[in-house]
Structure 1
């Protein structure tokens, strides 16, 4: 299984650090030349590799960590996303609900990535929190996941555990997903909730 993070801002950096802590290889990409951020990637860890957008979209699992408005540009990178799993880390705060056709923001994004399995996740934590070691006071920091695809949610739940977090499955995008989305001038009820799960 191969992994990529598209978007290398604060959230992208935090996700890359999670992979580095767990010793899992991941590529990072933006729309810029990878040489412009290669030193930042190397500084995070030896298993983090800067690459082009065209190379990153070849990964099996892709974290979409760009600004919400930039997702159509990423979606154009492939004619079909069949066989890919996209983890939507975006937040559509400030985007009017009518611009989303009344859909949850992740369901709207799913339309752009035709054929992909889409899971909403890792978006509810501030970058500074996501950047920290998820092992907290003997427990694990919770990451909320939502998807219409049960198999994809389970797959990403397993990856979430490998990254050291505690996955909490909220169900589909149209119900649980609403708890972790932002759109218009509102935030879902679980946005910014930094919770820890204890066994």
Structure 2
């Protein structure tokens, strides 16, 4: 199974680091083009190569590692997904300019963290992302932990737990294998309708929970 990563920010680059540590091949992309990723791929080594967004999106398993505010524009313009797997690592939050009035809004409990929640009405994040990638098999994963620990799955004599959920059993099995291969302990939260809201930042009950499975 080939792997693509759309987005080279904190999430995308740390997913790439986790894969690179285990020598797992992947193509990473961003909106600025492969040339802008030269220093990152040099750091990560030969298993990770830079490509265009279209090249990354053509992989069998594609990590959506873009900011929520960019997701529709980036994902909706790609070719048909035709049953390929999309790992939805997004969260419905907007990053705030520290000098903006929003960053000092006393009614926003997340202002101190530099973010605010995006109102999705009665929908949850993976439900919205699924609309941007029609024909894809969506698995929610890699979104509930701090991005800086994604390259450090083993800690304190155990393995960090990484939640995942989805509606297609085969797609979930492929993502579970990646989770195991990079050193995490996978925990299946069930369908997207159940697991998506549970693990989605900022208000999911399992969001930001850093559980360790002791071996």
**TM-score, normalized by length of structure 2?**
0.85
Q: Tell me the residue number matched to 1:52.
A: 52
**Distance in 1 of aligned mates of 2:82 and 2:54:** 16
Tell me, yes or no, if structure 1 residue 169 matches structure 2 residue 188: yes
Q: Tell me the residue number matched to 1:130.
A: 150
Q: CA deviation at 1:86?
A: 0.3
SS in 2 for 1:97: coil
Q: Compute the RMSD of aligned alpha carbons.
A: 1.3
Tell me, yes or no, if structure 1 residue 157 matches structure 2 residue 166: no
Q: Tell me the residue number matched to 1:106.
A: 126
Q: Tell me the residue number matched to 1:95.
A: 118
Q: CA deviation at 1:74?
A: 2.4
Q: CA deviation at 1:82?
A: 1.3
Could you list the runs of 4 or more consecutive aligned residues of structure 1 that deviate by over 4 angstroms after TM superposition?
A: none
**Distance in 2 of aligned mates of 1:19 and 1:90:** 18
Q: Unpaired runs of 5+ in structure 1?
A: none
**Distance in 1 of aligned mates of 2:168 and 2:203:** 23
Write out per-residue CA displacement over residues 154-198 of structure 1, whole angstroms, 9 at most, x where no aligned residue.
22111110111111000011112211113xxx5211111111113
Q: CA deviation at 1:65?
A: 0.5
SS in 1 for 2:63: strand
**TM-score, normalized by length of structure 1?**
0.91
**Distance in 1 of aligned mates of 2:187 and 2:136:** 22
Q: Unpaired runs of 5+ in structure 2?
A: 94-116
Give the number of equivalent residue pairs. 192
Q: CA deviation at 1:126?
A: 0.8
Contact 2:162 2:187 survives alignment (8 Å): yes
